[in-house]
Amino acid sequence: MNRSEKTTKLTKMAMLAAFSVVLVLLIRIPYPPAPFLVYDPADIPIFIGTFAFGPLAGFALTFVVSFIQAFFLGGDGIIGFFMHLVSTGSFVLLAGWIYKRNKTRKTAVIALICGTIFMTVSMVFWNLLITPIFLGVPREAVIAMLGTVIIPFNLLKASINSVVTFLTYKSIARFLHK
Protein backbone atom coordinates (compact mmCIF):
# COMPACT_ATOMS: atom_id res chain seq x y z
CA MET A 1 0.00 0.00 0.00
CA ASN A 2 1.51 3.32 -1.03
CA ARG A 3 1.45 6.51 0.99
CA SER A 4 -1.61 7.93 -0.78
CA GLU A 5 -3.61 4.73 -0.18
CA LYS A 6 -2.59 4.72 3.48
CA THR A 7 -3.67 8.35 3.85
CA THR A 8 -7.00 7.62 2.16
CA LYS A 9 -7.63 4.61 4.40
CA LEU A 10 -6.73 6.59 7.52
CA THR A 11 -9.03 9.44 6.44
CA LYS A 12 -11.94 7.02 5.91
CA MET A 13 -11.30 5.43 9.30
CA ALA A 14 -11.25 8.88 10.91
CA MET A 15 -14.61 9.65 9.30
CA LEU A 16 -16.04 6.40 10.70
CA ALA A 17 -14.68 7.29 14.16
CA ALA A 18 -16.21 10.77 13.91
CA PHE A 19 -19.54 9.32 12.83
CA SER A 20 -19.38 6.92 15.78
CA VAL A 21 -18.84 9.83 18.19
CA VAL A 22 -21.73 11.77 16.64
CA LEU A 23 -24.00 8.74 17.14
CA VAL A 24 -23.00 8.64 20.82
CA LEU A 25 -23.97 12.28 21.17
CA LEU A 26 -27.29 11.91 19.35
CA ILE A 27 -28.62 8.55 20.51
CA ARG A 28 -28.37 7.29 24.08
CA ILE A 29 -31.11 5.02 25.35
CA PRO A 30 -30.96 3.90 28.99
CA TYR A 31 -31.54 0.21 29.58
CA PRO A 32 -34.51 0.20 32.00
CA PRO A 33 -33.44 -2.71 34.24
CA ALA A 34 -30.04 -1.07 34.86
CA PRO A 35 -29.64 2.70 34.46
CA PHE A 36 -25.84 2.41 34.41
CA LEU A 37 -26.15 0.62 31.04
CA VAL A 38 -26.95 2.77 28.02
CA TYR A 39 -27.48 1.64 24.45
CA ASP A 40 -25.88 3.75 21.76
CA PRO A 41 -25.28 2.84 18.11
CA ALA A 42 -21.63 3.96 18.18
CA ASP A 43 -20.42 0.45 17.37
CA ILE A 44 -22.11 0.40 13.96
CA PRO A 45 -19.44 2.53 12.20
CA ILE A 46 -16.79 0.49 14.03
CA PHE A 47 -18.31 -2.78 12.76
CA ILE A 48 -18.50 -1.33 9.25
CA GLY A 49 -14.86 -0.25 9.46
CA THR A 50 -13.94 -3.72 10.68
CA PHE A 51 -15.59 -5.38 7.68
CA ALA A 52 -14.09 -2.83 5.28
CA PHE A 53 -10.54 -2.69 6.63
CA GLY A 54 -10.04 -5.77 8.81
CA PRO A 55 -10.02 -6.71 12.49
CA LEU A 56 -6.95 -4.69 13.50
CA ALA A 57 -8.37 -1.55 11.91
CA GLY A 58 -11.65 -2.26 13.74
CA PHE A 59 -9.77 -2.58 17.01
CA ALA A 60 -7.95 0.71 16.32
CA LEU A 61 -11.32 2.38 15.69
CA THR A 62 -12.62 0.84 18.91
CA PHE A 63 -9.65 2.24 20.84
CA VAL A 64 -10.05 5.76 19.46
CA VAL A 65 -13.82 5.90 19.91
CA SER A 66 -13.65 4.36 23.40
CA PHE A 67 -11.04 6.92 24.44
CA ILE A 68 -13.03 9.89 23.14
CA GLN A 69 -16.26 8.57 24.64
CA ALA A 70 -14.72 7.85 28.04
CA PHE A 71 -12.63 10.97 28.55
CA PHE A 72 -14.35 13.69 26.52
CA LEU A 73 -18.03 12.72 26.47
CA GLY A 74 -18.60 11.73 30.09
CA GLY A 75 -18.32 7.98 29.52
CA ASP A 76 -17.19 6.87 33.00
CA GLY A 77 -13.46 7.50 32.59
CA ILE A 78 -11.00 4.64 32.69
CA ILE A 79 -13.64 2.03 33.62
CA GLY A 80 -15.91 3.09 30.73
CA PHE A 81 -12.93 3.14 28.37
CA PHE A 82 -11.83 -0.33 29.40
CA MET A 83 -15.31 -1.88 29.29
CA HIS A 84 -16.07 -0.43 25.85
CA LEU A 85 -12.65 -1.48 24.57
CA VAL A 86 -13.04 -5.09 25.71
CA SER A 87 -16.69 -5.46 24.69
CA THR A 88 -16.47 -3.95 21.22
CA GLY A 89 -12.86 -5.10 20.84
CA SER A 90 -13.80 -8.73 21.42
CA PHE A 91 -16.57 -8.40 18.84
CA VAL A 92 -14.47 -6.76 16.11
CA LEU A 93 -11.46 -9.03 16.51
CA LEU A 94 -13.50 -12.21 16.11
CA ALA A 95 -16.10 -10.99 13.60
CA GLY A 96 -13.46 -9.16 11.57
CA TRP A 97 -11.22 -12.22 11.45
CA ILE A 98 -14.08 -14.46 10.31
CA TYR A 99 -15.28 -12.00 7.64
CA LYS A 100 -11.76 -11.26 6.38
CA ARG A 101 -11.25 -14.93 5.48
CA ASN A 102 -14.28 -15.08 3.14
CA LYS A 103 -16.18 -11.90 2.30
CA THR A 104 -19.66 -13.18 1.48
CA ARG A 105 -23.11 -12.34 2.84
CA LYS A 106 -23.30 -15.74 4.51
CA THR A 107 -19.91 -15.23 6.17
CA ALA A 108 -20.98 -11.74 7.26
CA VAL A 109 -24.02 -13.22 9.03
CA ILE A 110 -21.86 -15.90 10.68
CA ALA A 111 -19.27 -13.29 11.71
CA LEU A 112 -21.91 -10.99 13.21
CA ILE A 113 -23.56 -13.84 15.13
CA CYS A 114 -20.23 -15.14 16.42
CA GLY A 115 -19.17 -11.59 17.36
CA THR A 116 -22.43 -11.06 19.25
CA ILE A 117 -22.05 -14.31 21.19
CA PHE A 118 -18.35 -13.73 21.90
CA MET A 119 -18.95 -10.18 23.09
CA THR A 120 -21.77 -11.32 25.37
CA VAL A 121 -19.73 -14.15 26.89
CA SER A 122 -16.71 -11.89 27.26
CA MET A 123 -18.79 -9.27 29.07
CA VAL A 124 -20.02 -11.86 31.58
CA PHE A 125 -16.40 -12.35 32.62
CA TRP A 126 -15.49 -8.64 32.58
CA ASN A 127 -18.63 -7.61 34.46
CA LEU A 128 -17.91 -10.17 37.16
CA LEU A 129 -14.42 -8.70 37.49
CA ILE A 130 -14.99 -4.95 37.02
CA THR A 131 -18.61 -4.12 37.94
CA PRO A 132 -18.22 -4.83 41.69
CA ILE A 133 -15.42 -2.26 41.75
CA PHE A 134 -17.24 0.24 39.52
CA LEU A 135 -20.58 0.07 41.31
CA GLY A 136 -19.21 -0.77 44.76
CA VAL A 137 -21.41 -3.84 45.06
CA PRO A 138 -20.59 -7.40 46.08
CA ARG A 139 -19.83 -9.88 43.31
CA GLU A 140 -22.98 -11.80 44.30
CA ALA A 141 -25.05 -8.79 43.23
CA VAL A 142 -23.41 -8.88 39.81
CA ILE A 143 -24.00 -12.63 39.55
CA ALA A 144 -27.68 -11.98 40.28
CA MET A 145 -27.75 -9.46 37.39
CA LEU A 146 -26.18 -11.77 34.81
CA GLY A 147 -29.35 -13.42 33.51
CA THR A 148 -31.66 -10.45 33.86
CA VAL A 149 -29.45 -7.47 33.01
CA ILE A 150 -25.92 -8.09 31.72
CA ILE A 151 -26.48 -10.92 29.25
CA PRO A 152 -29.74 -9.49 27.79
CA PHE A 153 -28.21 -6.00 27.45
CA ASN A 154 -25.12 -7.23 25.63
CA LEU A 155 -27.13 -9.54 23.38
CA LEU A 156 -29.56 -6.73 22.56
CA LYS A 157 -26.86 -4.12 21.93
CA ALA A 158 -24.70 -6.35 19.75
CA SER A 159 -27.72 -7.76 17.88
CA ILE A 160 -29.17 -4.35 17.02
CA ASN A 161 -25.76 -3.07 15.92
CA SER A 162 -25.14 -6.25 13.91
CA VAL A 163 -28.47 -6.06 12.08
CA VAL A 164 -27.95 -2.40 11.18
CA THR A 165 -24.38 -3.16 10.08
CA PHE A 166 -25.58 -6.02 7.89
CA LEU A 167 -28.30 -3.88 6.30
CA THR A 168 -26.04 -0.88 5.60
CA TYR A 169 -22.58 -2.33 5.00
CA LYS A 170 -22.71 -3.00 1.26
CA SER A 171 -23.89 0.50 0.36
CA ILE A 172 -21.33 2.15 2.65
CA ALA A 173 -18.57 -0.23 1.55
CA ARG A 174 -18.89 1.04 -2.02
CA PHE A 175 -17.83 4.48 -0.77
CA LEU A 176 -15.12 3.12 1.53
CA HIS A 177 -13.50 1.08 -1.23
CA LYS A 178 -13.43 3.83 -3.89
Q: How far is CA 175 from CA 49, 155, 172, in A?
A: 12, 29, 5
Average pLDDT of the residues in 10-36: 94
The pTM (predicted TM-score) of the whole model is: 0.94
**Predicted local distance difference test score (pLDDT) of residue 134:** 83
CATH 1.10.1760.20 fits 3-27+40-176, yes or no: yes
Q: How far is CA 15 from CA 22, 107, 121, in A?
A: 10, 26, 30
Residue 121's nearest CA partner among 85, 80, 158 is 158
**Predicted local distance difference test score (pLDDT) of residue 146:** 95
Q: For a pLDDT cut of 70, what percent of the chain falls above it? A: 99
**Predicted local distance difference test score (pLDDT) of residue 26:** 95
Q: pLDDT tens for residues 85-132?
A: 999 999 999 999 999 999 999 999 999 999 999 999 999 999 999 999
Q: How far is CA 78 from CA 55, 70, 128, 163, in A?
A: 23, 7, 17, 29
Q: Using the predicted structure, report yes or no on whether residue 178 has a pLDDT greater than 80.
A: no
**Predicted local distance difference test score (pLDDT) of residue 1:** 78
